[in-house]
Amino acid sequence: MKKEVVKPPRLKQGDTVGVVAPAGPFERDPFDRGIATLKTMGFQVKVPEGIFEQKNYLAGSDEHRAKLLTELFQDPAVRAIFCVRGGYGSARILPFLDFKQIAANSKIFVGFSDITILLAAFYHKFGLVTFHGPLVTTLGKSSERTRDILLKAITSDQPVTLTPSEPVVLHPGHASGPVLGGNLTNICHLIGTPHEPGFAGALLLLEDRGEPAYRIDRMLCHLRLSGRLDDIAGVVLGSFKDCGDINMVYDIVKDNFADREIPILAGFDIGHDAENLTVPIGLRATLDTEGGMLRFDEPATSPL
């Protein structure tokens, strides 16, 4: 059955965006550069009190981080929410989030890496289209292309089309479905939880950082043995930074999908690298290996 999706309201120049740290703490310099970049892009920025709290490797207690996030969704002046950093901790706040309040105040939500947990949970709980895209702490050093695609995804009435800078076809084909996924490690950590989205019929986006080849194999094997890869429509591979020989990574992917006749296109500038192109999560798209593109069927946001 096709899932009903909720597209958040479109952002426009001059709107206020909020920033939140649902996972790890962060350094002040990249944070300040990211805030300055958001302002240069034409937005006002709300920085909540308490965002600089720290508890060991977390940006404050679980209850504190969940409260700040829920309050930003409830704030009518805030039109979009950008996550400051990934790291670790998003899964810990899931039991403390008020999903009813978040669903009642749907808005643009942007992040990646550990934030994959929240992208998946929001889609699973109430069908919200979210955005796998730059963090505040990465925006200050992001490329012009990264910022342009981000702006198009959240402000334009035109559908997004993404093309790999160096396309690698691991299996040819053409398929359509909602784009789901993100960071491979965090997708694996959702398996068996009540926050895991179903991947049947989806184009599965995968990226990661700092994972040696055998761990990537282990995670894909886990997904395969758990049946989560049985009915996906295609695979979109982003960057695998600091994961060793990329050709070995591609061989591992091909091995784990050897029994499937589905399109697999690699080389997208998505994830932990110099470029990180924004991907609407939960929105239907078409993966075309011959054309070398991921083309979304409709704009990722709703009219103002």
Domains, the chain, in order of start with CATH, read 16-155 (3.40.50.10740), 161-296 (3.50.30.60)
Give the residue among 283, 280, 250, 290 at the shortest CA–CA distance from 266.
250
pLDDT digits (tens, 9 = 90+) for 64-119: 999 999 999 999 999 999 999 999 999 999 999 999 999 999 999 999 999 999 99
Residue 207 pLDDT level (bands cut at 50, 70, 90): very high
Q: What is the pLDDT of residue 139?
A: 97
Q: Is residue 1 predicted with pLDDT exceeding 70?
A: no
| Active site residue ranges | 113, 207, 272
Dihedral sign, CA of 135, 67, 283, 266? positive
Give the model confidence (pLDDT) of 266-289 as tens digits.
999 999 998 999 999 999 999 999
- The 10s digit of each residue's pLDDT in 117-173 is 999 999 999 999 999 999 999 999 999 999 999 999 999 999 999 999 999 999 999
The answer, as to whether pTM is greater than 0.75, is yes
Per-residue pLDDT tens digits for 12-37? 999 999 999 999 999 999 999 999 99
- Average pLDDT of every residue of the chain: 97
End-to-end C-alpha distance for the chain, whole angstroms: 29
Contact 112, 137 (CB under 8 A): no
pLDDT over 90, % of the chain:
98
Asked if 179 and 282 count as a contact pair (C-beta separation under 8 A), the reply is yes
Residue 52 gets the label, from left (phi > 0), alpha (psi -120 to 50) or beta, of alpha
- Count CB neighbours of 175 within 10 A: 19
Instruction: Give the pLDDT of residue 274.
Output: 87
The average pLDDT across 211-236 equals: 97
Q: For residue 304, name the pLDDT band (cuts at 50, 70, 90).
A: confident
For residue 211, pLDDT beyond 90: yes
Phi, psi of 168 (to 5 degrees): -130, 115
